[in-house]
Amino acid sequence: MTPHIFVIFGASGDLTARKLIPAFYHLYEGGYLPENFALLGVSRTELSDEDFRKKAVYESTYLSEDLPQEKKDTFAKMLFYQPIDTSSEADYGKVKERLTKLDQAIGTKGDYIFYLSTPPKLYKTIPAYLATHGLNKAEGHFRRLVIEKPFGYDAESASELNNHLLQFFKEEEIYRIDHYLGKETVQNLLVTRFANGIFEPLWNRNYIEHVQITSAEPMGVGSRGGYYDDSGALRDMIQNHLLQVVAHIAMEPPVSAAAHAIRSEKLKLFQSLRPIDPEEVEQYVVRGQYTASEIAGDTAVGYREEEGVLDDSRTETFVAMKFFIDNWRWADVPFYVRTGKRLPTKVSEVVITFKQSPQRLFRSEETFSDPYNQLIIRIQPHEGLALKFGMKIPGQGFRVKDVNMDFHYADLTDADVPEAYERLILDCIRGDATLYSLGESVEAAWAFVDPILNAWKANESKLFGYPAGTWGPKEADSLFDNGTRWRNPCKNLTDMGDFCEL
């Protein structure tokens, strides 16, 4: 592992404390960090090295209290801190000076990774000021830039940001992070498809009826009301996370497992998304907003009563949509994607629904709840897969019922499934960009979403209310036109084959 310094801008913020520091600790504990390594936190807050170590390690509520003291001490010594005014170009000279001193003291030899855990308004400022002080490039050394979402607010701003960054860093040096891609089961979508000969012959329009993707959260927006009210579910979840899942499900086989091969196929997929005409948005997209209700005896407030949310807000907390992919593999196969807050349970899953057999021989005796075979890929929680198919009930006749054949990730290993940020940070350290987004892919995803956002803005499109704790507005069911319906997982998610109606 190459010695280097990992620089986090916004190091005094919530993401660093909640996700990044724990991820680095687990990487250290697993032996994945180089011997010559330092983590330099940079932020506006005035802290010393010791203050930062105390805050990030010893007083952290996100690290286990049971960690061995010796390991905590060793890890804490890797952490350093430099306060600056991130909007002041001159202050980046302090960062350069500190990096030079750390290189000399620790032997990190001038290789740096810059992680922007900051408000998006600084995504242009920080790279430009790093370049002013020559920190964006050095002969014989690597420099990488990691950027959190949101990457742009629409297609125009995403393209503008890409062009700005490319003035200072090469495309292969820019790592646009999407923590969803760090989840083991999202990565396993590629293995399920391309490492198993039984799936690929069936993975096309000839055998698949439709594809459903659901990402549900039981919580409301909480303290993020101010941010969320300017974003909404379409921008917050579908434009990035769920379209990435679509890409893993629908992309063509890459020529190799190399980053450039996989990312190129994902780009082609995004470019194949059939645009939704603004006049047809209401036909293909349903948006909703949760309203007050009672859940298990407790009162749940509506979205407009949440802190920081406007009283007359029309921001969607739920989106369900139907779209198509215009290529030979997926021609006329509908993809259904939905996401929302204040839904009954926390679950993210993909459901591949296969076409019915051409003739149902046992129609009179079938007890199917659904005549379609389904492959259910659970992304979270209780990660795993389930295959639903019909089996004969013992006894006379041909009574047939649904059964499940399932697999849980927990059965594969005794080790904990690593957190998404651990995997993504480690990949960046290794220079593997497979799970990071290409700039062109980000722009293509925005190009698909933009017409929907513009139609909503121009036409005051319908916004349906749904009681908190339900599966969203009933109008979302109207997206299906062949008698099928959304698969609503039960609250007991350990059985992935469960299907519940509330």
Closest CA to 316 of 231, 189, 378: 231
Q: Fill in the DSSP letter of residue 363.
A: G
Alpha carbons 293 and 466: distance in angstroms, whole number: 9
Residue 204, token pair as written in the block: 């096309």
Annotate 44-90 with three-state secondary structure.
CCCCCHHHHHHHHHHCCCCCCCCCCHHHHHHHHCCEEEEECCCCCHH
- Residue 389 makes CB contacts below 8 A (sequence gap 6+) with 373, 402, 403, 405
User: What single letter denotes the amino acid at residue 391?
Assistant: M
The single residue of 26, 179, 210, 241 carrying the catalytic annotation is: 241
Closest CA to 440 of 62, 171, 90, 101: 171
Sheet containing 464-467: order of strands: 400-408, 384-392, 374-380, 347-354, 208-216, 335-340, 318-323, 285-291, 464-467
Alpha carbons 477 and 217: distance in angstroms, whole number: 19
**Helix (H) / strand (E) containing 269:** helix 259-271
Active site residue 164: no
Distance (Å) of CA 388 to CA 197, 249, 364, 377, 404:
19, 18, 20, 11, 5
- Residue 463 makes CB contacts below 8 A (sequence gap 6+) with 287, 288, 289, 314, 316
Residue 11, token pair as written in the block: 């190091």
Residues designated as active site:
241
